Every structure is written in C-alpha cells, then in structure tokens.
Amino acid sequence: MGWRLRVSVSIEEIVNAIVDRIERDDIAGAAKLFESLSPPEALDVVVRLDSDSRRKLILASSLSNLVEVMARLPDEVIFEIASIKGVDDLAKIFSKLHVDDAADVLVKIPPKVRAEVLKVLPHELSAEIAKVMKYSPESVGGIMTTQVPVFEEDLTVGEAVSTYVNKVKLGLYDKHNYVYVVNKERKLVGRIDVRTLLTKPRELKLRDCAEKVNVHVNPLKDREEAARLTISYDLVEVPGRRPRWRVPGDRIT
C-alpha cells in the first residue's frame, strides 16, 4: 500500500489493519505495512496500539520510520523499544538520530542499556551525545533512572493507584520503593512509600499524604556522593534534582 493510495485512509483503519494481521499471526505482514508508513503516521499508529500488539510489532520491525519522530514518543513506548530491541539494533537507531534527540531519548531508557548503547556507538558520536547529556559514566546522572512512578500532587490516591498498577503490569518501572509527587512545574513535592499509598483513602489528594524529601543529589556529582547520602541517611533511594538548563523535572537514582 503506497503513501499516495493511503491519503483517504484513516489512522484508525491502518491500526485495525495492522492489528488484524497480528491476530492472524501474520507479524511479517503487519511489520511490512507499518514500515510503509511515513514518520508522522508511524508515530500515530504505534501510540494507538495496545502494549501486546506494539511489542510484537517492535520485535518484527526495523523501526526506521520512527527515527525522525523518536524524541516525540511517549516514555513507555521508548522503554518498550529499549527492552525489546538488542543493543546493536538500538545503536543503529541512535546513530541516525540528531545528537540532541539521541540525548533526550537515551535518558529515558534503563541506565545499563544506556551505557551499553553508548559503548557500541562510534566513539565520536558517543562522546558528542554524552557531552549534550552532561553526565559522565562515573557521575550520579550516569547511573540514575527515570523509570520511577511520578505523579502530580492534584491527583487522588485512587487515580494514582490505578495508573501505577497498570504501569507495573507493563513493566514500565525499574525497581523502586516510593512513588514521587511533583507539582505542575515538575518540582519534587515529596514521596510516598508504595505500601503506604495502597492503604490510603482513595479520595485523598497525593499532596496531603506525601512525605517531604529533604535529601537530594546533584546528577553532576560523582556517584560516590549518592552512596554517601544513602549511608548517612539510611536511604534506599535518593531523588536527583535535574539541572534547570535541561528540561525541568526530578529524576531518581
């Protein structure tokens, strides 16, 4: 199906066609149809697929038509790609990205995978990406993860728990002990122990049950600083405050 012939075909129809092929176990056919899409179409389609169908498609496709729009993909889709594709395949994708986009996407994947991809990429490219990321392998930023549960303070406990449970089932979080609460500017408000969250009244606002966090670590510091803080304050996790010259947000080591 060529691009011109698809002008009058809606995204929903394309999604249905891909799902139909997957359900008939024609994964190769689904991948072929997906790879014929333009980058904007591919983006629209991949975010509309359910996780199971998307994972099968990711495994079978080169994802070459997602390169141009990779930085616009939701975090959970990037996480799925990173967990399904091998390091060599990921390196091929990142080698085609603009350095800024590569840096933005890399910080969203698990630290171990991130480090492996940077090792496989050509040295000059890897160095340029690392320079944009500003985090050396020996820094706190080099080992921290963004795959932790973060919710806005205005949400109710019930709303947060529903989203949390769904994302846990999909494997979208790294190992963690707390749910982190932020305001609309994405600044850290506090945290809630996961087990405590599950026992709180469902109508309660997160801001009203979040415990204030008094210890943070600068992502640019040596990783030994994070280790020192965890020992000194008897912590199992340390929030990292992202420098304001990058996109605002709090990250967790």
**What pLDDT, on the 0 to 100 scale, is given for residue 132?**
67
As a whole number of angstroms, the distance between CA 97 and CA 172 comes to 23
Q: How large is the angle between the packed helices 111-120 and 87-95, nearest 10 degrees?
A: 70
Residue at token pair 């973060």: 150
**What pLDDT, on the 0 to 100 scale, is given for residue 221?**
53
Strand partners, 193: 178
**What pLDDT, on the 0 to 100 scale, is given for residue 188?**
78
**What pLDDT, on the 0 to 100 scale, is given for residue 152?**
92
**What pLDDT, on the 0 to 100 scale, is given for residue 2?**
41
Which is it for the CA torsion 73, 77, 80, 84, positive or negative?
Answer: negative
Residue 164 DSSP SS3: helix
52 to each of 23, 76, 170, how far by Cα in Å? 11, 13, 9
Per run of 10 residues, the mean pLDDT along the chain (length 253 residues) is 51 94 95 94 94 94 91 90 92 87 85 88 84 59 65 94 86 76 83 90 94 62 49 47 37 38
| Contact between residue 132 and residue 71 where contact means Cβ atoms under 8 Å apart | no
Residue 178 DSSP SS3: strand
Strands ordered across the beta sheet of 150-152: 150-152, 178-182, 188-193
Nearest in space to 198 (alpha carbons), one of 232, 139, 149, 134: 149
Residue at token pair 């480090």: 115
As a whole number of angstroms, the distance between CA 79 and CA 81 comes to 5
Nearest in space to 188 (alpha carbons), one of 241, 234, 141, 238: 241
Nearest in space to 210 (alpha carbons), one of 197, 223, 229: 197
**What pLDDT, on the 0 to 100 scale, is given for residue 15?**
94
Q: CA dihedral defined by 222, 224, 230, 232, rounded to 10 degrees? A: -110
**What pLDDT, on the 0 to 100 scale, is given for residue 232?**
44
| Contact between residue 144 and residue 152 where contact means Cβ atoms under 8 Å apart | no
| Contact between residue 94 and residue 106 where contact means Cβ atoms under 8 Å apart | yes
**What pLDDT, on the 0 to 100 scale, is given for residue 139?**
53
